[in-house]
């Protein structure tokens, strides 16, 4: 009997893992009815099964069904509660998320940070700030979320004081502060943080170059662009649009020719740039090159 019981438990465990995977996959594909069918047919359901269904309903914009599933659960863990909060926030239902938060038997840093982020996303920065300072424990993500909220609210000086208080600053926090300074037109302070950064990622460089372009400092942006360790398509486009918007079509043309990949957006930008500058023949040539490229792609597809 004991051997039979062990085999049965192993069968249920393996079946649950397989079924949970299918529930998540169906939910991601928008096939929530199929996910529910798998759930209903499971011989035994784990907490993961219930959590997966709750998350699936939220992913498919059915918060009411997610709540019904939550209410049916007999055993809930922190992941369940946090999933409900996160789901409500993703569906723009911050008030409902707060009700869940207030009724939680216990909370962790994820619970608190999710609520702070929810308030920030809805522009309720005062509520976010009040909750943030009540947090019993904060991590770098909590601090960064709140920093982003202050910057989003245009409170750059407060954001800087908050930034200086941070016990640990990751690259995201530094990038946020740089972006905030550029939005306020305070280029020197943005550059100061950039120069002090121990590590930079592609977002750092993109924020700097975009910031200079938006503030009509295209030459400074180009200098940074040239010394970047790695350039992606977005950065090429930022520089290209910077030149065309300033009417510097010659430099835009040189940059366009140097681009390793000329996307439809890049071609369209050059066509518009040439057009605004009265260089109709050059605009037509870019357009014709686009057509030839499209024809080649079609031919390759047929062959």
Specify whether the CB–CB gap between 249 and 279 falls below 8 A. yes
Specify whether the CB–CB gap between 92 and 100 falls below 8 A. no
Among 52, 70, 88, identify where a domain stops. 70
Asked if residue 130 belongs to a domain, the reply is: no
Whether pLDDT at 156 is above 50? yes
Asked if residue 42 belongs to a domain, the reply is: yes
Asked if residue 105 belongs to a domain, the reply is: no
Whether pLDDT at 3 is above 70? no
Structure confidence by residue, pLDDT tens digits, 208-263: 999 999 999 999 999 999 999 888 899 999 999 999 998 999 999 999 999 998 88
Task: Give the structural domain span for 50.
Answer: 1-70
Asked if residue 299 belongs to a domain, the reply is: yes
Burial per residue of 275-303, b for 16 or more beta-carbon CB atoms within 10 angstroms, e otherwise:
eebeeeebbeebeeebeeeeeeeeeeeee
Average pLDDT, integer, range 174-193:
97
Among 70, 90, 107, identify where a domain stops. 70
Rounded Cα distance, 189 and 208, in Å? 11
Among 70, 92, 107, identify where a domain stops. 70
Residue 291: band (very low, low, confident or very high) from pLDDT cuts 50, 70, 90: low
Whether pLDDT at 196 is above 80? yes
Rounded Cα distance, 225 and 207, in Å? 11
Asked if residue 19 belongs to a domain, the reply is: yes
Name the 3-class secondary structure at 269.
helix
Strand (E) or helix (H) holding 213: helix 202-214
Number of domains forming the structure of the chain? 2
Residue 14: band (very low, low, confident or very high) from pLDDT cuts 50, 70, 90: low
Whether pLDDT at 279 is above 80? yes
Asked if residue 261 belongs to a domain, the reply is: yes
Asked if residue 45 belongs to a domain, the reply is: yes
Give burial (CB, 10 Å; 0-12/13-18/19+) of 128. Answer: buried
Specify whether the CB–CB gap between 65 and 97 falls below 8 A. no
Rounded Cα distance, 129 and 161, in Å? 14
Average confidence score pLDDT of the chain? 90
Rounded Cα distance, 71 and 40, in Å? 16
Asked if residue 82 belongs to a domain, the reply is: no
Q: Which among 249, 242, 241 is positioned nearest to 280, based on CA atoms?
A: 249
Q: Which residues contact 227 (CB under 8 A, 6 or more apart)?
A: none
């Amino acid at each position: 009997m004991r051997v039979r019981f062990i085999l049965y438990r192993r069968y249920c465990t393996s079946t649950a893992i397989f079924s949970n995977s299918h529930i998540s996959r169906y939910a991601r594909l928008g096939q929530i009815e199929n996910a529910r069918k798998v759930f209903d047919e499971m011989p035994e359901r784990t907490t993961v099964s219930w959590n997966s269904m709750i998350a699936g309903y939220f992913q498919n914009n059915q918060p009411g069904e997610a709540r019904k599933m939550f209410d049916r659960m007999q055993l809930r863990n922190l992941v369940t509660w946090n999933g409900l909060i996160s789901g409500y926030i993703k569906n723009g239902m911050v008030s409902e998320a707060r009700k869940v938060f207030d009724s939680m038997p216990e909370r962790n840093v994820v619970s608190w940070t999710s609520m702070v982020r929810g308030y920030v996303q809805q522009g309720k920065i005062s509520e976010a700030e009040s909750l943030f300072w009540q947090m019993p424990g904060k991590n770098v993500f909590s601090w960064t979320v709140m920093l982003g909220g202050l910057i989003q609210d245009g409170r750059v000086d407060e954001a800087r004081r908050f930034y200086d208080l941070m016990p640990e600053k990751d690259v995201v926090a530094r990038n946020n502060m740089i972006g905030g300074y550029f939005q306020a037109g305070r280029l020197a302070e943005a550059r100061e943080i950039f120069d002090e950064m121990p590590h930079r990622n592609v977002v750092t460089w993109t924020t700097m170059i975009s910031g200079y372009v938006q503030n009509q400092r295209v030459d400074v942006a180009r200098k940074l662009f040239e010394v970047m360790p790695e350039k992606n398509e977005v950065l090429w486009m930022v520089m290209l649009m910077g030149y065309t918007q300033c009417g510097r079509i010659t430099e835009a043309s040189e940059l366009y020719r140097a681009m390793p990949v000329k996307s439809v957006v890049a071609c369209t930008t050059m066509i518009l740039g040439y057009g605004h500058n009265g260089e109709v023949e050059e605009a037509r040539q870019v357009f014709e090159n686009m057509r030839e490229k499209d024809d080649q792609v079609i031919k390759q597809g047929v062959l």
